[in-house]
Amino acid sequence: MLSLLRPAHTLLLALTYLLGASLARYLGADFAILPFLLGFLWLAFLVSAMNLLDAAYRNPAQPYLSEQTPRERDEYRRKLVVLAIAMLTLTAALTVPLLAFELARPLTLAFLGLAVLSALAYAIPPVRLANRGLGEFALAILVASLAPTLAFSLQTGELHRLLPAYIFPLTFLALACFLALDFQTFAIDQKYARQTLLIRLGWQTAIPAHNGFLVAAYLLLAAAPFLGVPFGLVWPALLTLPLAAFQVYQFSRLADGAKPLWPLLASTAIALLGLTTYLLTVTLWLR
């Protein structure tokens, strides 16, 4: 059950969400703990429900546990749906105090709505982007764009020109991360006809696409000072360049037919996004 919840998604969500709130604090907003906690719990329950629904609506032939009978799979699937509905109910319940205490302004409500639409479009039919080769885009936008933007708007009630300087490179890093994670489940996804971005592109195209996402992320970070962002706010993120280079090296070996070390590749993908976000966040708190 824990693997179906994909705790890595929640961890990355927590880091990007904290980044958005940290940017608001850096710009002079008082750090308000109540909307911060309510907003994070709201997103965490939403993403958990999304992942459970994604598991519930996958190919019925794919077992959840080893040696499951078709009847046991159906029963397990029903439990996942019930648990997902319970989490969505908690998400809706958390919206009440956000409204009752006037913590969610119209702009914030718009981002809450976009987050719900992204999560549902990712997981459930008839849209089900997770099985159309577009799920990674929806997930990257939710984790790396909407989460920090929501945190920022909960603290300030508005947006700021510095926000895109953070969320655009992080979104490209998130795309690279989620595409890299597709490689680890490639064989199973093929077997059960799950249309991930990797399968849609083909691994010959997916590898340069992954590397291109990384290049785009670091070019955006390097260009930020020319767009009015103080260099002192972004240079710590560039310290992760060696880790990015190592990830590119791993994929070049994979393209050459070398035996992949899947745990290392997946860990590097998650660490690259997580560490970059962490360094940007710490920098904002130290300024």
Question: What tokens were used for 185?
Answer: 């489940």
What's CA 209's distance to the chain center, in Å? 18
Q: Does residue 2 carry a pLDDT above 90? A: no
Q: What is the pLDDT of residues 64-116, one digit of tens each?
A: 888 788 888 899 999 999 999 999 999 999 999 988 887 878 889 999 999 99
Q: What is the chain's length?
A: 287
- Kindly list the distances between the CA atom of residue 44 and the CA atoms of 159, 180, 192, 195, in Å, as whole numbers in the listed order: 22, 23, 28, 25
**Which distant-in-sequence residues (6+ apart) come within 8 Å of 160 by Cβ?**
23, 27, 152
Q: What is the pLDDT of residues 226-247, one digit of tens each?
A: 888 899 999 999 999 999 999 9
Contact (CB, 8 A) for 46 and 112 = no
Q: What is the pLDDT of residues 191-225, one digit of tens each?
A: 998 999 999 999 889 999 999 999 999 999 999 99
Half-sphere exposure of 182 (CA within 13 A, CB side): 30
Contact (CB, 8 A) for 107 and 158 = yes
CATH topology of domain 2-286: Farnesyl Diphosphate Synthase (1.10.600)
Q: Does residue 1 carry a pLDDT above 80? A: no
Question: What tokens were used for 66?
Answer: 């080893």
Given this model, what pLDDT does residue 256 score?
84
Q: Does residue 137 carry a pLDDT above 90? A: yes
Q: What is the pLDDT of residues 251-267, one digit of tens each?
A: 999 888 888 888 999 99
Dihedral in degrees, nearest 10, Cα atoms 193, 195, 197, 201:
70
Given this model, what pLDDT does residue 124 score?
94
Question: What tokens were used for 130?
Answer: 């997770």
Contact (CB, 8 A) for 244 and 218 = yes
Range 61-65, long-range pairs (CB < 8 A, 24+ positions) = 61/192, 62/188, 62/192, 64/4
**Which distant-in-sequence residues (6+ apart) come within 8 Å of 215 by Cβ?**
none
Separation CA 265–CA 252 (nearest Å):
12
Contact (CB, 8 A) for 22 and 284 = yes
Separation CA 221–CA 170 (nearest Å):
9
Based on C-alpha coordinates, what's the Rg of the chain? 19
Separation CA 117–CA 204 (nearest Å):
32
**If residue 125 lies in a helix (H) or strand (E), which one and from where to where?**
none
The overall average pLDDT reported for the chain is 93
Given this model, what pLDDT does residue 131 score?
93
Q: What is the pLDDT of residues 43-75, one digit of tens each?
A: 999 999 999 999 999 988 888 888 788 888 899
Based on DSSP, count helices (H) and strands (E) in the chain, helices before strands.
Answer: 14, 0
**Which distant-in-sequence residues (6+ apart) come within 8 Å of 269 by Cβ?**
176, 177, 180, 181, 247
Given this model, what pLDDT does residue 260 score?
82
Q: Does residue 179 carry a pLDDT above 80? A: yes
Q: Taking every pair of C-alpha atoms in the chain, what is the biggest distance, in angstroms?
A: 60
Q: What one-letter code names the amino acid at 89?
A: T
